[in-house]
Each structure stands twice: as C-alpha cells, then as structure tokens.
Amino acid sequence: MTIRLNRSADTVLGSAAVVLGLALAGGALAIGAGFGYDRIGPRTMPYGVALGLLLLGGALLVPALRRRSESAVPTSAPLLWKPLGILALAGALFLLLAGRAGFILAASLLFWLVARAFGAHRPLRDAAAAVLLSIVVYVAFARGLGLALPAGPLETALPF
C-alpha cells in the first residue's frame, strides 16, 4: 500500500529534509579532515547522511512543486496517533533508561516497542529478537569498535 502525502505535506517534509541536510553538511565542515593519507575520514559519514537528506528532500520537493492542482493528488492517509505515541514513548524511555539500566536493556525495550508500533503481534518472539539484536549491537559497537555505550548489569555480565 502506497501512501502519498498531499502537496503541502510533501513540500514541508521535503523542505525540512533539505534544510537538515544543508545544516548537517555545514556542521561537517567543522570536523577535522583527518590525515592526508585517509581515504575515508571523519567527515565521510556526515557528508553521506547530508547527501541522503538532500536527495530525499529533492525527491519530495520536485514532484510537489510540479503538481498544478492539489485536487489531482490523492488525499493523505489519516495520522495514526497510537503508533506515533508508542514511538515517542520508546524514544523517551530509551533516553531515560540508557544511562541508568544500560544500553542492552534500554535498546531491548526500544526495539520491542518499535515492533509494537509497527503492528507486530508476537510479543515473546519480538522480545527475544530485541534482546538478541541489542546484544549484537552492543558487542559490535562497544567491544568491536571501542565506542563508549552506557554499561549496566547486563553489559558487565557478558562473557566477551
């Protein structure tokens, strides 16, 4: 099922993506260039995300600005407040719990709630998948890349 937004929503979202992309690209200029022999430096990912936002914004803006009449555009789907509320709750709980309970527990709850928001109907399977995914992400980023993620009781109990 394809949901098309109306012209004004496409224009607003496209403009927001373009502005955010430009702001991110501008902020990336303040990041050091790295060493002369680095092919991929610290600016690479911010520039990549900025480019993606600019392309997404353009993909939304160009058709919206080309449409001559708003009546030719299908009406937008109604905003579903319950999934939006669940996603907001998931983000807020992650921010509140990550420092106190650790990354794995906070991310597991985040992933499980996001599955609920997207309509998953098997809570036990989703919980198991959320915990497994959280552990994999923690090990990859904290242990593999050496990034400092919030550690709680589950993180310190990991054997690896």
Convert the pLDDT of each residue in 106-146 to its tens digit: 999 999 999 999 999 999 999 999 999 999 999 888 878 88
Q: What is the pTM of this model?
A: 0.57
| CB distance 142 to 149 below 8 Å | yes
Which 8-state DSSP code applies to residue 97? H
For the chain, give every domain's residue range.
7-72, 81-156
pLDDT digits 0-9 by tens, 72-110:
545 556 767 888 899 999 999 999 999 889 999 999 999
